Structures are given as structure tokens and as C-alpha cells.
Amino acid sequence: MKDIIKQHSKIIFWVSMLIAQIIGAYLFKDLADISQWVVQSPRETTIWVWNNRWMLTLVGFATIAIASFLKYKQRDIISNKTYISLTVLFAFTFFCGMINPHIMMRARMDNGVFVSIEQAKKYVKPYESVIVLEINGKARAHSDKQLLRPHVAGNGDLGGENVVMTYCGLTNLGMAVTPEINGQPLDLAPMTQLENNLVMYDKISGEPIQQLWAQSESDRNSGSEAKMREWPTFRMPFEKFAKAYPDGEVYVNDYLVEGMRPSFWENPFLAIYDPIMELIFKLAIGHQKTNDEPTFPTIEHIDTRLPSKLLVHGLNIGDDYVAYTEEFVREQSSPINATIGGKEVVVSYDEEFKSLGIFYNTTGGKVTEVDFDGQTPNGKLPRVETVKAGAFWLIWANFFPETDINRV
């Protein structure tokens, strides 16, 4: 009888341990982000794992507890070395999938640090490209380097509007949005990446939100048009931003820069952890910028009309998508006047401020002269809010394969 009990205990032990390891593997594969360097997981699987992560966590810990109890009651059921190795493996995969992303990418939606231009000169180089958000005369600049880890940055209203900057280094894209859908407020934080673009989630509902779609996963799947409101953004060198907006604010990542990040004595874990994460992110983004292939092998649609890592300014008006290259726009002798989604737009590159602008043409006629800020002899033009400034062509074309190129 004792032998039968031992045999049954051994079977239960290994079944429990196997279930725990499978759960840990799924959490690691689909939620750890870094795992996608080598493993391509279907979108449906990743979303399923995310939506069921707490149930998986409960089952994972329950099965590890069962295995541990059986090991305690029957010491020879498995060697100590093997038991410890398997337990540590589960702890590692669980940590990487369920805990690490939220430490690694600590969002700053409501508590982002913004400093004056003079202060920002310590952190941002003059030639560094910044993503600019200007609302009702109030302007903010966000460098790619400073945005890379938090992915979401804001600190309340800007120019009287509720708006935050979202950022994906793999796409090289900053998008400004109002964090609400159908009037319901969102608390945005990074979740993972899918197809080399940031997926956020709403801390309130737990709903995943793809950055480029600005929609929740459930709304997208149901065909709903509900989405976050987008705000116009554009790029220019930091020194040009300082010239155009001398009273502007500049975002600074408080857990990156010296003088703001915690010291070893204040928080030894973060003091060691953050530099390691910075190195990993630097390697991933460096690979993305310098290789034709995407860093994560998760791109479904490859469009060879343009070089894969060429930076484009993509936009849509309704279901009409167009991408412009800076080289093409600069080659034109006058501003481009085009029709997109049934509306007239003007595309122009300003040599003085080194910035490409895309505006709605509200003059009623052809625009032959427009400055960096959209000013024409016949009035000021509003910027198109859906412009994605300086995104990698590979990513833009993957999400919007119907896009036209350099329309005139």
C-alpha cells in the first residue's frame, strides 16, 4: 500500500510541477516582452494570456504548492537539486512575465517630470530629435531617450487639455492622446509589444490598447470606432524647439538622469536594476535602428516599397492612409497640396526649424507659402492630429498596409 501511495504521490508531484512550468513558460513567452526576441507568439495567444494572467498565476502557485507539499512529505520523491532548480525556474519565468515589465517600464502618466529649457540642456543634446506637443500656446518637448523606458509621460493638463505622450522605441513613435475612451478615463501603463509596437493597458479595466490604433482590444475586435483622441505632434531638433518655444517644457525621465534617479543608499535594487535595463533597451533599439530586419520577428506584413527602417510621417483621414518621406518633401520646390480622405492638406518642410509639418488647408485655395507653425498669407493652418512623425516604415506599413506613399 505504501508503495502505491508513493507512486501516486510521485505522479501528482510531476503533473503539478509540469503544469506550473507550462504556466510559467506562457507568462514568460507572452508577457515578458524580451522573450519575443526569439519566440514569436500569435497575437491571440498573448491577449489570452494577459486576460487570464491572474487565473494562470493562481493555478501556477497552487500547483507549485502541491508539488512542494508532496516533496516535504516524501523527501525522496525528487532530489533536492532538481526540486530547487525547477522551483527557481518557475519563479524566474513568473517574475519576468508578471512583475518585471511593471518595474522595467514604470509609466509616468500623471507624475512626469518637466523642466525648463535651460535645465533640460543638461539632459538633451542640441541636435537631438524631440517630439513636440503644442496646445493653446503651451509646448512640451520629449526626446526619444527620455521617453524610452516609461513609454507614457504626462503630469496633468496641457493648455487646458487632458493629454499624455505615449512612446514606442521599436516604432520610433511618440503619440499624444487624451487618456479616455467614450468619456471613460484611462490609467495607461505599458503592457508589452506586439508586431514591434507598444501595447499599453488600462489599469482600471485591464484592457489592452495598441498604441498605433489608440483603441482597446475589445473595441477593435468588435468593429467599434471608439478610440482615444489624438493630438498633433511633430519632430524638430531640441535647439530649434528652444528657439521656437523659449518658454516650453521638456520631459525628463526621473529614473534615468543623474541627480533624479535613486542612489544606491536610497534604493539599492533600482540603483543596480535600472542601468541593466537601460543597457538592454539600448541594445534592442540600437538593433532596430541599424538592421533591416525587425528586432522582434513578429511583423506580419512586409512592404518593400520603401527601405524597412526609413522614417516616415504617416497620417490618415478616415480610412485614407498616406506616408511621406522627409527627402521627398524637401525636394519639392513648394508646399505639397494634396487631398487625403476628402480633405485638403498641406505638407511642407521648414529649413529654418528643421521640421516637417502636415496641416489642414483651411484657406480655400492652393497654399504656396507656409512656415514652420502653419502660418500662411491667408491665415494659420491647423496641424493634422493623426500624423505619426518619424515612424519606421516597416512598422507603419505592417499596421496600415493600404497606405499610399508621397501623395501629391
Write out pLDDT tens, residues 9-22. 888 989 999 999 99
Q: Do both 98 and 120 map to the same domain?
A: no
- Count of domains for the chain: 3
Q: Are residues 77 and 165 in the same domain?
A: no
pLDDT tier at 305 (50, 70, 90 boundaries)?
Answer: very high
pLDDT of residue 75: 84
Statement to judge: residues 84 and 213 lie in one domain? no
Do residues 317 and 353 both lie within one domain?
yes
Query: 102 falls in which pLDDT band (50, 70, 90)?
Result: very high
Same domain, 80 and 191: no
H or E stretch at 71:
helix 53-73
Give the number of other CB atoms < 10 A from CB of residue 102.
12
State CA 204 to chain mean position distance.
19
Structural domain boundaries enclosing 339: 311-405
> 29-43, 284-298, 338-352 — which is least confidently predicted?
29-43
390 and 321 in one domain? yes
Whether 214 and 328 have beta carbons less than 8 Å apart is answered as: no
Flag whether 241 is in a domain. Answer: yes
49 near 26, Cβ under 8 Å? Answer: yes
Whether 145 maps to a domain, the answer reads yes
Domain end position, chosen among 184, 219, 252: 252
Residue 269 lies in a domain: no
Mean pLDDT of 328-340: 97
Rg (CA), the chain: 25
Residue 336 has pLDDT above 70, yes or no: yes
Contact 214, 108 (CB under 8 A): no
Quote the CA–CA distance of 254 and 194 in Å, as a whole number.
27
- Determine which of 54-68, 189-203, 292-306 has the lowest per-residue pLDDT on average: 292-306
Residue 5 scores a pLDDT above 90? no
- Please choose, from the candidates 307, 328, 277, 329, the residue with its C-alpha nearest in 3D space to the C-alpha of residue 397: 307
CA distance 253 to 153: 9
Contacts of 78 by beta carbon, 8 Å cutoff, 6+ apart? 13, 71
Give which of 288, 50, 53 is closest to 192, Cα–Cα.
Answer: 50
Task: Report residue 203's pLDDT band, with 50, 70 and 90 as the boundaries.
Answer: very high
Same domain for 81 and 117?
no
- Structural domain contains residue 291: no
Q: What percent of the chain has pLDDT over 90?
A: 83
pLDDT score of 296: 84
pLDDT in tens, 38-56: 777 889 999 999 999 999 9
SS3 (DSSP) at 116 = strand
User: In terms of domains, do 96 and 198 share one?
Assistant: no
Is 323:396 a contact under the CB 8 Å cutoff? Answer: yes
User: Mean pLDDT, to the nearest integer, of 344-359?
Assistant: 98
Its pTM surpasses 0.75: yes
93 and 118 in a single domain? The answer is: no
* Residue 196: φ, ψ to 5°: 65, 30
Tell me: do 247 and 351 sit in the same domain.
Answer: no
92 and 119 part of one domain: no
State the average pLDDT over residues 190-195. Answer: 93
**Mean pLDDT computed over 20-26:** 96
Res. 298: pLDDT tops 90: no
Tell me if 179 is assigned to some domain. yes
Would the pLDDT of 283 be above 70? yes
Residue 37 in this model has a pLDDT that exceeds 80: no
Q: Distance of alpha carbon 212 from its chain centroid, rounded?
A: 9
Q: Is the pLDDT of residue 1 over 70?
A: no
Q: What is the mean pLDDT of residues 379-399?
A: 97
pLDDT band at residue 263 under the 50/70/90 scheme: confident
Residue 128 one-letter amino acid: E
Examine residue 393 and state whether it is found in any structural domain, yes or no: yes
Q: How far apart are CA 148 and CA 169, in angstroms?
A: 6
Mean pLDDT of 305-318: 97
Give yes or no: residues 98 and 117 share one domain.
no
30-34, 75-79, 273-277 — most confident range:
273-277
294 pLDDT more than 80: yes
